[in-house]
Amino acid sequence: VSVVEEHVSKMVGTGREDEEYADVDWDNLGFSLVRTDYMFATRSCREGNFEQGCLSRYGNIELNPAAGILNYGQGLIEGMKAYRGEDGRVLLFRPELNAVRMKKGAERMCMHSPSVQQFIEGVKQTVLANRRWVPPPGKGSLYLRPLLFGSGASLGLSAASEFTFLVFGSPVQNYFKEGTSALNLYVEEVIPRAYLGGSGGVKSISNYGPVLEVMRRAKARGFSDVLYLDAETKKNMEEVSASNIFLVKGNTIVTPATNGTILGGITRKSVIEIAIDLGYKVEERVVPVEELKEAEEVFCTGTATGVASVGSITFQNTRTEYKVGDGLVTQQLRSILVGIQTGSIQDTKNWVLEI
Ligand code: COI
């Protein structure tokens, strides 16, 4: 029995924590918040180191009205998934990459951050304590949302004096209401998502609020999501609201290079590595939207979205259909990635962490 399991079993809970599965309709999970049992939190001390941290019942948190997160947007999110394999093992996928990405984001946002080890420990404890919320094999995953935010109070514009690292989870299945059907994307030609020198390359909360209205308008017109262009020329593809984008052209797979405006997705990185292993040529570079015309397949990648096929991309009011065809390359990449994440394909790269 690990220290964590011992700790959790000693906690005063609902008495249902021993059940194998929580009472969830596993066949009808989407991407809505499902309240789980526990969350994990730790705070930084004055020197910037984080305390050991502990689990508490999932619930509201208290914040000073002058907290850095509320006043000056000092906040980062991460997204991860824990899968239950057919053999019952619960697996995390490349958690150290999330930890490192949070560190990088913290530097950009003038925040202290937990060590890689503390990050992974907090995530592990959250999963173990909420094990009954990890969906059965093939029914989805426990989505984990590590947060880092300025919890210290400050009136003038300055970095918070204290930061909180918090992890919660929610069982999820498909991110889009379209399920696994191909997405129809709307190209936003006026409002960019990020600009050179900004925070587009890190997972700052400040990247997400400003796209909500653009997304709302696109969704009201029946689109699944929005594809953003570069702020400078408005000629090149950048990314979709919550995912990276790829084009397939024969044996070549093309995706916008991470130049500071595009989020370095962990699914993006993993798909690139899988594609190279399979013998595809992968090009990370500037990708003019014009090039969409030559694409045989288009797909998006992200932790929440997975590897999602794109069926059409619309410029203004002229709907241009990009046939996904049978989407064989997308399907191949998706099935290998999911196979590794769920333990059904041997993990030769040491990507999965059993907890
Ligand atoms: C993720 O893919 O995990 C994300 O953080 C994107 C989020 C906006 C849903």
3-state secondary structure of 310: strand
Other beta carbons less than 10 A from residue 291's beta carbon: 14
Atom of ligand 1 nearest to the CA of 305: 2
The pTM is what? 0.93
Q: State residue 5's pLDDT score.
A: 45
Atom of ligand 1 nearest to the CA of 143: 3
Closest CA to ligand 1's atom 7: 242
Closest CA to ligand 1's atom 4: 79
What is the radius of gyration, based on Cα positions, of the chain? 20
Say if CB 145 and CB 168 are below 8 A apart: yes
Ligand 1 binding pocket includes 302 (Cβ within 6 Å): yes
Walk along the chain (355 residues) and give the pLDDT tens digit of each residue.
344 444 444 444 555 667 899 999 999 999 999 999 999 999 998 788 999 999 999 999 999 999 999 999 999 999 999 999 999 999 999 999 999 999 999 999 999 999 999 999 999 999 999 999 999 999 999 999 999 999 999 999 999 999 999 999 999 999 998 888 899 999 999 999 999 999 999 999 999 999 999 999 999 999 999 999 999 999 999 999 999 999 999 999 999 999 899 999 999 999 999 999 999 999 999 999 999 989 999 999 999 999 999 999 998 766 666 666 568 999 999 999 999 999 999 999 999 999 9
- Amino acid at residue number 197: G
Q: Is 234 a catalytic residue?
A: no
Taking the centre of ligand 1 as the mean of its atom positions, its distance from the CA of residue 80, in whole angstroms, is 8
Atom of ligand 1 nearest to the CA of 303: 2
Ligand 1 binding pocket includes 79 (Cβ within 6 Å): yes
Residue 181 C-beta-side C-alpha neighbours within 13 Å: 8
Closest CA to ligand 1's atom 8: 242
Taking the centre of ligand 1 as the mean of its atom positions, its distance from the CA of residue 113, in whole angstroms, is 20
Question: Quick one: 47 exposed, middle or buried, by C-beta within 10 A (0-12, 13-18, 19+)?
Answer: exposed
Say if CB 338 and CB 285 are below 8 A apart: no
Residues paired with residue 145 on neighbouring β-strands, in sequence order: 168
Catalytic residue among 203, 219, 235, 281: 203
Ligand 1 binding pocket includes 303 (Cβ within 6 Å): yes
- Amino acid at residue number 316: Q
Atom of ligand 1 nearest to the CA of 78: 5
What distance in Å separates the CA atoms of residue 43 and residue 152, rounded to the nearest whole number? 10
Residue 70 C-beta-side C-alpha neighbours within 13 Å: 11
Closest CA to ligand 1's atom 5: 79
What distance in Å separates the CA atoms of residue 140 and residue 134, rounded to the nearest whole number? 8
Token code pair at residue 1: 């029995």
3-state secondary structure of 335: helix
Taking the centre of ligand 1 as the mean of its atom positions, its distance from the CA of residue 303, in whole angstroms, is 6
